[in-house]
Amino acid sequence: MRAAVFRRPGPAAEVLEVVDVPAPEPGAGQVRVRMVTSGVNPTDWKGRAGLTSRRPDGFQVPHHDGAGVVDALGPTVAGLAVGQRVWVYLAAYRNRYGTAAEYAVVPAARVVPLPDSASDDLGACLGVPALTAAHCLGGVPGALEGRTVLVAGGAGAVGHYAIQLAARAGARVAATVSSAEKQALAEKAGAAHVVRYTDGDAADRILELAGPVDRVVEVAPMANLDLDLRVLAPGGTIATYAADETLTLPGGPLMSANATLVFALLYTLTPEQTDAAVRWTSQALAAGALTALPVTTYPLERVAQAQDAVERGTVGKVVVRL
């Protein structure tokens, strides 16, 4: 099969190559998927660049997310069928065969049916972003009904799905963005109120439009903490999925608000937490409540450019089409 691989960490153009490798065979509890689309996330380029502790064992096919068709089932796999359309998540986690190849072998638990109503590009856009959003929202849609949610970075991939999942769950959704282009994306996703955080009165505007916020889905905790605490309702929660920097926390205001600060990383969720996020995402997908962001596509031969585009912060989603 044709596959993108890297054998050591480094710049995309230097270490990524597209080569022929033997197609993997599924073992017990595994599924082989003929990939159609491969979604690119920030975690993918960071892993290739060496910003994480894991190093390739011989070679690594990158990318966690994607959509395709079940090609073969390993022993003990139930609930999936050859020829079935699926989306996959965390394919490259502790696994050599990610989705940037003609075939990927993935643990069956990370392979999810893709409804006929959903495109392959949409399937490739789920995975890490949608599951992270579902977990940051608490994992239980019923708990959001009638509540107010603020999504920081509402035009990003996690923000996009946080808006859509929260709105479907019956929450009032506000979002912050940095530009008119991103405001249009957040509004299209379903945010009732969109505020540019570059405006000096952003917190006042959020309170005016949406009232006190019960839960914040936060992409930049240090930059936005003062705003979050100004709008947070007593007993509210700030859930952040991007906290690479050192955090200095104002203990007094956090205690005064009886606030809960939650850190979310998809890799280390419990199986129960992951199952809850997958279930919520799948239900929303089947109901037609999830959409893809604007998609920029690359062929497999240009996978290095695709990763560089994500690293540069391309608006929307970057997808490699097989």
Q: Any idea what the CATH number is for the domain that residue 143 is in?
A: 3.40.50.720
Asked if 213 and 315 sit in the same domain, the reply is no
Q: Any idea what the CATH number is for the domain that residue 304 is in?
A: 3.90.180.10
Asked if the structure places residue 23 within a domain, the reply is yes
pLDDT recorded at residue 243: 77
Rounded to 5°, the CA angle 259-260-261 comes to 120
- What is the value of pTM for the model shown? 0.96
Asked if the structure places residue 222 within a domain, the reply is yes
Residue 305, token pair as written in the block: 């450019």
Asked if 119 and 74 sit in the same domain, the reply is yes
Asked if 136 and 257 sit in the same domain, the reply is yes
Asked if 167 and 66 sit in the same domain, the reply is no
Asked if 37 and 158 sit in the same domain, the reply is no
The dihedral region occupied by 79, where left means phi > 0, alpha psi between -120 and 50, and beta the remainder, is: left
Asked if the structure places residue 200 within a domain, the reply is yes
Q: At residue 166, what is the residue type?
A: A
Asked if the structure places residue 73 within a domain, the reply is yes
pLDDT, averaged in runs of 10, over the chain (322 residues): 97 97 97 98 95 87 98 97 98 96 98 97 97 97 96 96 98 97 96 93 96 97 95 98 86 95 95 97 97 96 98 95 96
Asked if the structure places residue 205 within a domain, the reply is yes
DSSP state for residue 12 in the 8-state scheme: H
Asked if 262 and 139 sit in the same domain, the reply is yes
Asked if the structure places residue 189 within a domain, the reply is yes
Cα separation, 231 vs 211, in Å, equals 8
* Residue where one domain finishes, among candidates 230, 251, 267: 267
Q: Which residues contact 243 (CB under 8 A, 6 or more apart)?
A: 221, 263
Asked if 66 and 113 sit in the same domain, the reply is yes
Asked if the structure places residue 273 within a domain, the reply is no
Asked if 119 and 162 sit in the same domain, the reply is no
How many Cα atoms within 13 Å fall on the side-chain side of residue 296? 16
Asked if 185 and 300 sit in the same domain, the reply is no
Asked if 75 and 119 sit in the same domain, the reply is yes
* Residue where one domain finishes, among candidates 229, 250, 267: 267
Asked if 296 and 217 sit in the same domain, the reply is no
Among positive and negative, which fits the CA dihedral 137, 188, 244, 215?
negative
Domain that holds residue 175: 130-267
Cα separation, 312 vs 223, in Å, equals 20
Count structural domains, the chain: 2
Asked if the structure places residue 113 within a domain, the reply is yes
Asked if 263 and 141 sit in the same domain, the reply is yes
